[in-house]
Structure 1
C-alpha cells in the first residue's frame, strides 16, 4: 500500500507539472509575454515558495536540463560542419570578445561593490554565461534561429558553453587551498579532448551504419530509442570530460547533420525536447528563493539592474566595434543581457572551492533567475518602444527616375511568376519592393528590382507611375494593396490597375475601388489543382476542364451577385437556382456535386 501511495503521489506531481505548463503558457503567450515567462511564473506558483506542491526544485532541474540538451541537439542537426566552420570567426572572435569584455566590466562592478577580486570574478563570469535555453527558445519562437542575426547569437552561445571548462579550472585555481591544481587542470583538459574526440569519431564513422542497420529492422520504437541514446550518450560523455552536456548533444547533432536520417532523428527527439525544455523553465521558476529575495531584496534588485545594464552595454560596444549595425547590436544586447543556467554550475563550484558562502550563492542565483525572467519582457519592450529600423540599402538601388510600360509593386512569389509573361514578351517592366533581402536575392537571378514603398505617393512618382500604361499591385498585404489602389486611382488615372487580392472579401473591396482586374492569389492554382484531381480519379481531360470551367463561371456569378445584390441575396439565388450541367461521367459529376455542396457562402472565401 505504501508503494502504491508513493506511486500515486508521483503521478499527482506529474499531472501538476503538466497542468501548470498547459495553463500558464497559452495565457502568457496570449498576453504577448512569451512561453519562457509563462513557464517561470508557473514554476514559481507551484514551487516551494508558492503553493508548496514541490519542495526539491534542484532534483527536477537536473532532469529538466535534458530539455536544453535535446534543444542543442536539434540545433546541431541544422548546422552542417561546413556551415559551422564558416562561423569560426563569430565563435572564437565575436564570442570570445564578448565574454572577455563583459567579464571584465562585471568583475569591476563587483569589486566596486566591495567584493574581493576572486569573488567578484566568479560572480561576474557566472552572469556572463547567457541562458542558452532562454535565448534559443525566444529565437525559435520569433523564427530568427536560421537568420544571420540569429546565427551570430548561436555562435556566442557556443563559445560560452566552451568557456565553462576553463572557468571551472580557474575557480579551482582561485580556491584558498589548491594543492595539486596543476595536475588537475591538465587532467581536465585531457579528459575534455578525449570526450570531444570520442563524440567526433562516433558521429563520423559509427552512427550512420548503426541507423542504417536499425532502419532495416523496421522497428520505429527502436529508432526513437536510438535517437535518445545518441543524444544522452553524447551528453553523458561530455559531462565525464568536464564539458557541458548541451555541448556534447550539439556536437552529436552536427556530426549527424549530413546524415540521411537527420529528419527522422529530429522528428523523434522533438516531443521529448519540447516537454523537457518546458520542465526546465518550470524548475528554474521553482528555484527562485523568495525568502532570500525578501531578506536581501535591495541587493537582488540592485544586482539585477546593474548587472543587466553593464552586460548590455558591454555587448553593444563589442557588437558595434566589430561592425554590427545598430539594430543587430540592440537585438543582441537585449537578448543576451541576462545570466544563465551555467551560472548555477559555476556558483556551486565557487561554494565548493570556498570562494562563495551560502547566502552569497543564494543572492547571485536569485539575480540570475530574475534576469532570465525579465528577458522576454525586455525583448517585447524593444519591439514596441524602438522605431522600426531603416532597411539596409547596401547593394540596393532606390526607385528614382524609373520608367516602364508596366510598374510592378511587390516581387514576392506572386510577382515573380506574374512578371515572367511580361518579360518574355519584351515588355518594359519597372519593379519595386521594400524587402531588401529579396531584392538582393533577385539580383542574383538576373532580376533588377528597386527599393521602394508602394504605399508612398512620392515613391510611386519616382517609380514612373505617372507614365506607366499599367500598374500591377502584387504585394502580400491587404491593407497596403488597398492604400496603393487609392493612391493610383486618385493620382495616376491613366494606368490600368491590376491587383492581387487575398480572398473574396478583399476582392469585393478592390472591385468597389474600381480596379481594372483582380485575381485571388490562390483561386487559379486551386482550380487547376481540383482539375488535376478529377483527372487522377478517372475523368477525361475534356470532362475535367469542363468542370473547372463551370466552377469558375459559378464563382464569377456569386461574385457578381455579391457586388450587385449583397452577400445574402447572392447566396439565396445560388442555392435556389442550381445550374443544369452538361451530362458528365460519374467521377466528373461527383466532383461537380462536391463543389456545389461545399461552395463557400462567406465573404472570406478564398
Structure 2
C-alpha cells in the first residue's frame, strides 16, 4: 500500500476511534454530539496531539459537511411556519441580528480592525446554536411556552440571515478600490440565480421526483437526491457563490414536495458523518498556544458574546412588549454562539478577513459559549427567578388560574397532557361521570379546549406547585398521557413526595424504560407498541379463522401477564354477568405510623379470607409486584388491593385498625 494511502487510513482510523469514544461520552452526559466533535478536533489536531494532519483533503471533505448541513436546514425550512411566526421572525429576529452585527462592527472599529473584519465577526456572533437550543427546549417541554416561541422565531430568522452572509463574506475578501461594485455584482448574480432556481425549480422539482419515484428503486432515489444537492451546490459555485448556498436552495425546493421526509431520512447518515467531520476540522483550527497567549481577550470576547447578546435579545424583547421574565429567558436561551457561526468563521478565515490571532480568540470564545450553553439553559429558571420578581408574579397568575378552575373538583383524575391520548381518556372519564382536570403546555390547544368547555388549563405537570394547584391532595389518580420518559419521571417524583398513596398511570412508546418508571413508583406503564401489537394479532387471527372467543382469551392472557393492575379483571366469561358493585376493583391503602398491620407479614394478615388480593406494594418509591407471603409491612408502605367494594372496606379496616 502506498505511503500516502497508509497515512490517510491511519488518520481516518484515529479520527473514527476518537469520535466514537467522545460522542458516546457526551451522549451519556446528555450533551450535544457536536461538542464532542469539536473536542476531538482540538485534541487530535495539529496544534495539540498532532494525530490528524490539517490537510487539503480533510478540509475538502469537511466542506461537504457544510453542504449537507445547509441542505438539511433548507429541507426543514417551512414557509407555513415562517408565515405563522412572521411577526416574531421579521420583528424580533431581524432586530437581534442587525443590532448584534452593528454593535460588533462598532467595537471592531474602536479596536482598530477593518470594517470588513467587523462585519465578519458581527455575522459570526449574531447567530445562536439551533442544535443545542432546540434539543434542550424539547427535553424541557418548553417549545410551546411563551419564551420558547420567541426563541424559535429568532432562530428561524438567523437561519435565513445565513444566506446573505454566505454571499457577502466571500465578496468582502476581494481586493481593489471598487469593493462596493464587487459586492453589488455578487448580490446581483445571487438575486438572478436565486430567482431562476426558485422560479424554475418549483416547477421542475416535483415532476422530476415523481418520475424518479415511479421507478420504485431506493438506490435510484438516493442517487437523485445526491445529484440535486451537489448539482445545485456546483451551480452556485460556478456563479462565484458558495457551495453551501446551493445546497440550502436544494433543500428548500425539495421541502415543498411530498418527498421531504423520505429525503430527510435517506440523507441523515451522510449529513451526520460529514457534519461531524466538519466540526472536527473546526476544532483542529484552534491553536491552544495562541489561545493561552491571549487568554484575557478570550474571556473578554466570551463575556461580551454571552452577556452582550443575551442582554440585546432581552432588551429588544422588552421593546416588543414582552414580559421581563419572558425576555430574560429568551436572552439566556440565545446567548451562545451557533454552528453556522463556524461556517461563516471558516469563510472569513479563508478569505483573510480576520487576523490569525483574532480568529483564534473568536473561535475559542465561541467554543466555550457552546460548552457553557447546556448548563446556562438548565439553570435559566433559577437565574430569572433571582433577577426578576415579575417572574414570580407570572407564575403566581398561572397558578391562580389553575387553583380557580380546580377549586370545585374532588376525587378527580389529573390528566397530564391533553393531546390525542389525553382527550380520548377524558371522554371515557366523562362517560363514567368521573371528574378530571387536564394540564397541557400547548397554549393553542388549551385555548381551543377551554373555549369548548373542557376542564383544561396551561401548566407544567412536572412542577410541584402546579400539581398542588391542580388539587393533587383531593385527586384519585394521575395519568401521564404523553410519551416522554424524562418528564414522566419528574411527575412521578413530585407525586411521590406529595401523595405517595396516589396511583399514577404512565404512557410510553415501548418497554425500554419500563423498569425505570416502575421503580419511580408508576402504578402501571402502558406501552403503545404492546397495545398496537395486540390489536394487530387479534385482527390477523380472526382473519385466519380463529374463533373470536379464543382470540379474546389469548388477548386476556397476555394482558393479565403484562399489566399487573389487570390481574383478576380479565378472568373470563364467568364475571361478565356480575353486578357493578360486585366487580373487582383496585384500591390503594397507605400505612400510617399507627396502622395495625405494621410489623406483620402478609401471611399473618390472611386477607385472602376476605377475598382481597395484594397485587403490589410501594416502598420508598419502589414498586414490587406479587409480594411474597413473608413480606413484613412497614410504616409508609402503600398497598395496592384488588377486590370488590365491600371486601375492600373490610380489608382496609383490618390493615389500619386491626
TM tier relative to shorter chain: 0.7 to 0.9
CA distance in 2, matches of 1:479, 1:381: 19
Partner of 1:250: 248
Q: Could you tell me whether the CA contact under 8 Å between 2:136 and 2:374 is conserved in 1?
A: no
Query: Taking structure 1 as reference, are residues 164 and 8 closer, same or farther at Cα in structure 2, changes over 3 Å only?
Result: closer
Q: Could you tell me whether the CA contact under 8 Å between 1:196 and 1:238 is conserved in 2?
A: no
- Deviation digits for residues 51-97 of structure 1 (CA, Å, limit 9, x no counterpart): 32333256523431322322332233233333334455545443432
1:366 is paired with a residue of what secondary structure?
A: helix
The alpha-carbon deviation at position 419 of structure 1 amounts to 1.9
2:107 is paired with a residue of what secondary structure?
A: helix
The alpha-carbon deviation at position 24 of structure 1 amounts to 1.2
CA distance in 1, matches of 2:85, 2:460: 34
TM-score by length of 2: 0.70
Partner of 2:204: 206
The alpha-carbon deviation at position 107 of structure 1 amounts to 2.9
Matched, 1:402 2:404: no
Query: Taking structure 1 as reference, are residues 539 and 125 closer, same or farther at Cα in structure 2, changes over 3 Å only?
Result: same
Partner of 2:650: none
Query: Taking structure 1 as reference, are residues 138 and 554 closer, same or farther at Cα in structure 2, changes over 3 Å only?
Result: closer
Q: Could you tell me whether the CA contact under 8 Å between 1:475 and 1:481 is conserved in 2?
A: no
Query: Taking structure 1 as reference, are residues 166 and 454 closer, same or farther at Cα in structure 2, changes over 3 Å only?
Result: closer
Aligned residues: 538
Q: Could you tell me whether the CA contact under 8 Å between 1:232 and 1:249 is conserved in 2?
A: yes
The alpha-carbon deviation at position 233 of structure 1 amounts to 2.0
CA distance in 2, matches of 1:27, 1:510: 29
Q: Could you tell me whether the CA contact under 8 Å between 1:158 and 1:247 is conserved in 2?
A: no
Matched, 1:14 2:20: no
Aligned match of 1:369 in 363, 367, 390?
363
Aligned match of 2:286 in 272, 285, 288?
288
CA distance in 1, matches of 2:468, 2:138: 35
Aligned match of 1:341 in 335, 340, 343?
343
1:178 is paired with a residue of what secondary structure?
A: coil
CA distance in 1, matches of 2:547, 2:515: 30
Query: Taking structure 1 as reference, are residues 524 and 120 closer, same or farther at Cα in structure 2, changes over 3 Å only?
Result: closer
Q: 1:523-538 maps to which residues of 2 (within 5 A)?
A: 528=535, 530-538=537-545
Q: Could you tell me whether the CA contact under 8 Å between 2:94 and 2:157 is conserved in 1?
A: no
Q: 1:41-52 maps to which residues of 2 (within 5 A)?
A: 41-52=39-50
Aligned match of 1:475 in 460, 472, 480?
480
The alpha-carbon deviation at position 300 of structure 1 amounts to 4.0
Matched, 1:387 2:381: yes
Partner of 1:275: 273
CA distance in 1, matches of 2:454, 2:298: 57
Question: Root-mean-square deviation (CA), in Å?
Answer: 4.1
CA distance in 2, matches of 1:380, 1:297: 23
The alpha-carbon deviation at position 364 of structure 1 amounts to 1.9
The alpha-carbon deviation at position 192 of structure 1 amounts to 0.5
Q: Could you tell me whether the CA contact under 8 Å between 1:161 and 1:247 is conserved in 2?
A: yes
CA distance in 1, matches of 2:366, 2:213: 41
Q: Could you tell me whether the CA contact under 8 Å between 1:76 and 1:251 is conserved in 2?
A: yes
Could you tell me which runs of 5 or more consecutive residues in structure 2 were left unpaired when the two chains were aligned: 385-390, 482-487, 508-513, 569-612, 618-623, 630-658
Q: Could you tell me whether the CA contact under 8 Å between 1:195 and 1:237 is conserved in 2?
A: no
Q: 1:152-167 maps to which residues of 2 (within 5 A)?
A: 152-166=154-168
The alpha-carbon deviation at position 271 of structure 1 amounts to 0.8
2:505 is paired with a residue of what secondary structure?
A: strand
1:341 is paired with a residue of what secondary structure?
A: helix
- Deviation digits for residues 480-511 of structure 1 (CA, Å, limit 9, x no counterpart): 45754775688xxxxxx764257689779979
1:431 is paired with a residue of what secondary structure?
A: strand
Partner of 1:422: 429
Partner of 1:223: 221
The alpha-carbon deviation at position 342 of structure 1 amounts to 0.6
Partner of 1:191: 189
Partner of 2:115: 118
Could you tell me which runs of 5 or more consecutive residues in structure 1 were left unpaired when the two chains were aligned: 491-496, 512-517, 571-606
CA distance in 1, matches of 2:400, 2:240: 49
The alpha-carbon deviation at position 157 of structure 1 amounts to 2.8
Partner of 1:541: 548
CA distance in 1, matches of 2:39, 2:489: 38
The alpha-carbon deviation at position 567 of structure 1 amounts to 5.2
Q: 1:463-542 maps to which residues of 2 (within 5 A)?
A: 471-475=476-480, 477=488, 480-481=491-492, 484=495, 487=498, 499-500=504-505, 520-522=525-527, 528=535, 530-542=537-549
Aligned match of 1:435 in 438, 441, 445?
441
Q: Could you tell me whether the CA contact under 8 Å between 2:492 and 2:520 is conserved in 1?
A: no
CA distance in 1, matches of 2:7, 2:306: 40
Partner of 1:67: 65
269-278 or 119-128: bigger deviation: 119-128
Q: Could you tell me whether the CA contact under 8 Å between 2:291 and 2:364 is conserved in 1?
A: no
Q: 1:322-341 maps to which residues of 2 (within 5 A)?
A: 322-323=320-321, 325-326=326-327, 327-334=329-336, 339-341=341-343
Query: Taking structure 1 as reference, are residues 183 and 384 closer, same or farther at Cα in structure 2, changes over 3 Å only?
Result: closer
Partner of 2:599: none
- Deviation digits for residues 241-287 of structure 1 (CA, Å, limit 9, x no counterpart): 45443343233222222312222211221111000110011000111
Q: Could you tell me whether the CA contact under 8 Å between 1:126 and 1:339 is conserved in 2?
A: yes
